[in-house]
Amino acid sequence: MLLIECPYCGERPEPEFVYGGQAHVARPRMPAEVSAEEWARYLYLRDNARGVHAERWRHTHGCGRFFNALRDTTSDQFLATYKVGEAPPATAQVSR
């Protein structure tokens, strides 16, 4: 079970959270104007990174807020959590 640091509430156990998939996936501003390839990319293509992954979590059974996290998918270790709207911290600066 993961121990996740909510940027608002601190460390809490995983069952308090809901996973929200890859972070920083921007919806095309004009969906009607993008090609089928671009729309499929937005809907379906994800990095599925083996390594550092930027992802969304929601502290559903806590403050209820969304936030982002960097996690290493080869160890499940969290490298950082940060608020929505903030840029992901450079992974090199995060102590492991």
Nearest distance, CB of residue 48 and other proteins, angstroms: 4
21 or 93, CB closer to other proteins?
21
Q: Which residues bind other proteins (CB under 8 A)?
A: 1-2, 14-15, 17-19, 21, 36-37, 40-41, 43-46, 48, 50, 53, 55, 71, 73-76
Distance between CA 24 and CA 19 in Å, rounded?
14
Nearest distance, CB of residue 19 and other proteins, angstroms: 4
Q: Is 80 helix (H, G, I), strand (E, B) or coil?
A: strand
Amino acid at 87: A
76 or 93, CB closer to other proteins?
76
Q: What number of H helices and E strands is found in the chain?
A: 1, 6
Amino acid at 95: S
